[in-house]
Amino acid sequence: MLIKENAYRKIQPVFRSDYTERGLKFMTKRNTLTALTLSAALLLSACGTGGSAQRSGTAADGGDKKVSFTIGYAAGDPAARKAIADTVQRFTEANPEIEIKDLSENSSSSYLDWLKTKDAVGEFPDLVEMRDTEVFADAGKIVELPTGLLDLFDSPPEVEGKVWNAPLVLNSPQGIIYSKKAYADAGIGELPKTYDEFIAVQEKLKAGGITPLVVGGKDIFHMGFWVNKFLIDDVYAEDPDWNSKKTNKEVSFADDNVVQAMTDYKELFENYVDKGWLSTPDNQTASILVSGKAAQLFSGTWMFTQIEEADPGFEYGFYAVPDRRGKVNVIGLPSPAGWSLSADAAKDPAKQEAIEKFIRFFFEPDQYAQYLASINGLPSTKEKVEYETGEAMQVALDLMNDPDVTKSLAINNWWGENLIPPQFRNWFYKKLQEMVVANGDVKTYMRQVDEEYDNQVKANAQ
């Protein structure tokens, strides 16, 4: 299923700065984020568990059987990891008859590779945060989202006509998180309106003796923030079906638009990124920013919480980096991702019932609000959700609500005909790291990238 801008408007709630029936409410000091309302009676009736959730496992204190299931989720973002772990703890305290075993671990490997490793050793989670949905659906590792959970969400994306995920959040924009003090010290009074003005800002920061940008290049997923900013500007904003055309060899990574995007990426890293970027983990970027060792970080709204925890008094702003024409393009289309049930777990009725109970608990307004507040996330549910947030999140909301802002996806988040080979993303990001470190010729590297993409497509077809 291909999602264009018009489909985005159908699938994703309309965001407003004033509350509307199909909208979200956002205020600067005590901001309220609101999604559509689902009948409380429907939710309460869905939460009934009956007795079958106690049919397997070990004996509990009352003599009933305990149900146990495993859970796995991406551990790269400390705030999200803690938010999920806290929800699991609250759930098990409220439901002592259910045990949840957390399989997640912090690793610099990609989440896809981690999941494949778990599968290879027979530890694929019963409930899993799924990002590469089509890969695991095609492999028979996950099942469709149980029909009893579908009414929690407003038209979640489908893959091959089926809903596989309970979406944790809606995709939110990425951009520059900057130190207001650093900008003031450098004499930067206005935010850039074009990419050339953005580069001029970097020059002012550099001239003032501060490293303009921190990048957590040790974690390969972090590389995608800047890579996809340039790809969206020069490729996907104009052609959201570019991936499918590349698979059919109608376009090339060596084409001028992709070469321009990767040239901008390379020049940015060479001139304005902290020299230790390749050994810096993502979870250290917030502390580097608040310490004044760097003036800016390009990331998503989930970093706001980490920054505030690192230094509650740190003053920061947020904006999307425009392209050379002054057009703003951001991550923002919905994608098939979220909680999924494993095929093995679905074979055990008691286990599936326990998992469904946890998912309903996770998305209950009071519980879900705590999760969203921890990561500054946009709610995916119909049920009304409120939490407090700050002015940086207001900017993100305005971007989502602005019809002149093009919403897109990262290279690996498209699906259907636009799905890329599952191993290509990590290979591509690492190749770009190599290009920067070796000061390689962009056109030459893009020819190599194009060849590798074709080889992976061919290998996957066999």
Mean pLDDT taken over the chain = 86
Please give the pLDDT value at position 331.
96
What is the predicted pLDDT for the residue at 34?
38
Q: Which residues pair with 300 in a beta bridge?
A: 174
Q: Beta 294-300 vs 316-319: how paired, if at all?
A: unpaired
Top CATH class of 174-331+405-461 equals alpha beta
CA 164 to chain centre: 17
Q: Are 415 and 336 in contact (CB under 8 A)?
A: yes
When pLDDT is averaged across residues 232-239 and rounded to a whole number, the result is: 98
d(CA 77, CA 379): 18
AA identity, residue 156: P
Percentage of the residues of the chain whose pLDDT score is greater than 70: 85
Task: Find the radius of gyration of the CA atoms of the chain.
Answer: 22
Q: How many CB atoms lie within 10 A of CB 65?
A: 16
The DSSP secondary structure of 26-87, one letter per residue, reads: --SSS---------HHHHHHHT---SGGGSSSSB-TTSPBPEEEEEE---SSHHHHHHHHHH
Q: What pLDDT score does 152 carry?
A: 96
pLDDT tens-digit series, residues 263-317: 999 999 999 999 999 999 999 999 999 999 999 999 999 999 899 999 999 999 9
Residue 461 has pLDDT above 50, yes or no: yes
pLDDT score for 64:
63
Top-tier CATH class for 5-16+35-170+335-388 = alpha beta
Q: What integer is the mean pLDDT of 230-239?
A: 98
Task: Dump pLDDT digits (tens) for 124-154.
Answer: 999 999 999 999 999 999 999 999 999 999 8
pLDDT recorded at residue 144: 97
- What is the rounded average pLDDT of the residues 7-18? 30
From-to residues of CATH 3.40.190.10 in the chain: 5-16+35-170+335-388, 174-331+405-461
Q: Mean pLDDT over residues 363-384, rounded?
A: 92
Q: Which of 55-69, 188-202, 334-348, 431-445 has the lowest mean pLDDT?
A: 55-69
pLDDT > 70? residue 61: no
Cα 443 to Cα 102, 192, 434, distances in angstroms: 45, 29, 14
Residue 364 has pLDDT above 90, yes or no: yes
- Residue 75 pLDDT class (50, 70, 90 cuts): confident
Residue 256 pLDDT greater than 80, yes or no:
yes
Let me know how long the chain is.
Answer: 462
Return d(Cα 247, Cα 422) in angstroms, integer: 13
Per-residue pLDDT reduced to its tens digit, 393-450: 999 999 999 999 999 999 999 999 999 999 999 999 999 999 999 999 999 999 999 9
Can you spell out the DSSP letters for 152-216?
A: TBSS---BTTB---B-SSB---EEEEEEHHHHHHTT--S--SSHHHHHHHHHHHHHTTSEEEE--
Q: Decide: 337 and 240 in contact? Cβ < 8 Å.
A: no
